[in-house]
Structure 1
């Protein structure tokens, strides 16, 4: 379904002040200097301090987005949290962000949407529906993830590439923007490719947590294989729904899952490198914050301008593939 007459009026992002260079990862793993960057294509990533909580980073990103949009917290009608991992199970991260923005007595709806790495796309689609139905006129959508707290350094393939950060957008009724198409597919037979077992009702401190269950476990080869199987057909369908040819897309904003996944997408989907936002080397995989951080970079660097068409696309644990065509 196409949603016309709604516009992303502001984007913002926040990166923790602490930068972890790949040479420091080499030292931690006992590898030769340069090995991490050579293996995984990552030069650095950001690591949140204890004070830089998910809600704190999200609020900073939200304020940056509101500054671009020319609005203030009191102008919001709804807040949608779209984190891959919540700050705490209850209440929602969106509620925590509402309070940080000084809206604790406002009563505006604030709740979370979770689709792991693709949470932002699902929340953005929900925001568009709320605006289309007249339930809101201005919606804040944010993603904020701290991957560093759940990494298993016995599995360097995952531990080396994940970074922390937050990003947000303001979506408003009116304007020349639109969501031209959106799709999301899940193939749960591969659900064990990316797992964080602890934190829910099945594996929790009250019942005891076995070693490794509180750390993120990933079979990168399996996740990549499954995603690669479905992504080309998925993209073809999405382009058809949007009535846009791949050569007409002005900017491609992929989930920064890995250096391999971004380069594979450019090569196999025949995407021009100058149109693809690739910032993986300096920020790593930020889970759900990955796509909106790359989107903010595209806007602020001038690579995505008003009236341009942007393809937001990626994969997530599940395994799911998702995408959205946006007229910015």
Structure 2
């Protein structure tokens, strides 16, 4: 289903102040200098400090997006949180961000949408539906993740690629923009490829958390194999639904999953490298914040212009594949 007469009017992002260079990881792990970057294709990533909470980073990104959109917090009709991992189980991160934006007494609807790394796409699609149905005119969608708190450095192949950060977008009724197509597929036979066991009801902190249950575990090879199996057909369906040829896509904004995943996508999906936003080497995998951070980079660098089509696409734990074609 497509949604017209709605436009992404603003984007914003926030990167924590501390930069962790791959050379520091080399030293930490006892590797030769340059090993981390050579193995994983990442030179640096940002790490949040104690004061840079999930909601703090989200609010900073939101203010940037609203500045570009020319609106104030009070002009919003809805806030959608789209984080891979919430700041706390209850209340929602969206409620915490609403309060940080000075809207704590406003009554503006604020709630979370979670599809791990693809949360932003799902929330953006929901925002488009709310606007099309006339339930809202201006919606703020944000993603903010602090991966650094849950990394298991006994498995550096997973831990070394992640970074922290936040990004946001304002979408509103009117203008020449559109959501031309959206698709989302889940293949749960790969559900054990990416797991963080603690934080829900199955692992009960009151009864004790087992070794490693509070750390993220990823079988990167398994996740890559499953996603690669389904991604070509997924892309074909999405392009057909949007009525856009791949060569006509102005900008491709992928989830910054890993250097390997980005290289594979360019090579096997016949993407033009100059149209692909690849900022993985300097920010890493920011979970749900990856796609909107790359989107903000595309907009602010001039690689995505008004009237261009943009393909937002990625994979997530589950294993899920998601994509959206928009006219910016």
Using structure 2 for the length normalisation, give the TM-score: 1.00
Query: Hey, what does 2:239 align to over in structure 1?
Result: 239
> Is the aligned partner of 1:305 residue 2:305?
yes
Following superposition of structure 1 onto structure 2, how do residues 29-48 of structure 1 map, counting pairs within 5 Å? 29-48=29-48
Q: In 1, distance between residues paired with 2:139 and 2:25?
A: 39
Unaligned runs of 5+ in 2: none
Give CA deviations for 1:194-236 in whole Å, capped at 9, x if unaligned: 0000000010311211110000000000000000000000000
Q: In 1, distance between residues paired with 2:163 and 2:191?
A: 22
The structural deviation recorded for 1:42 is: 0.1
Query: Hey, what does 1:4 align to over in structure 2?
Result: 4
Q: Which runs of 4+ in 1 moved over 4 A?
A: none
Query: Hey, what does 1:288 align to over in structure 2?
Result: 288
Secondary structure in 1 matching 2:237: helix
Following superposition of structure 1 onto structure 2, how do residues 209-224 of structure 1 map, counting pairs within 5 Å? 209-224=209-224
Q: In 1, distance between residues paired with 2:262 and 2:234?
A: 16
Give CA deviations for 1:13-56 in whole Å, capped at 9, x if unaligned: 00000000000011111111100000000000000001000000
> Is the aligned partner of 1:270 residue 2:244?
no
Query: Hey, what does 1:101 align to over in structure 2?
Result: 101
Q: In 1, distance between residues paired with 2:165 and 2:296?
A: 12
Following superposition of structure 1 onto structure 2, how do residues 193-208 of structure 1 map, counting pairs within 5 Å? 193-208=193-208
> Is the aligned partner of 1:151 residue 2:160?
no
Which has the larger displacement, 266-275 or 98-107?
266-275
Q: In 2, distance between residues paired with 1:25 and 1:75?
A: 44
Following superposition of structure 1 onto structure 2, how do residues 111-260 of structure 1 map, counting pairs within 5 Å? 111-260=111-260
Give CA deviations for 1:161-212 in whole Å, capped at 9, x if unaligned: 0000000000000000000000000000110000000000010311211110
Taking only aligned residues, the RMSD between alpha carbons, in angstroms, comes to 0.4
Secondary structure in 2 matching 1:237: helix
Unaligned runs of 5+ in 1: none
Secondary structure in 2 matching 1:158: helix
Give CA deviations for 1:117-144 in whole Å, capped at 9, x if unaligned: 0000000000000000000000000000
Q: In 1, distance between residues paired with 2:97 and 2:311?
A: 28
Using structure 1 for the length normalisation, give the TM-score: 1.00
The structural deviation recorded for 1:293 is: 0.1
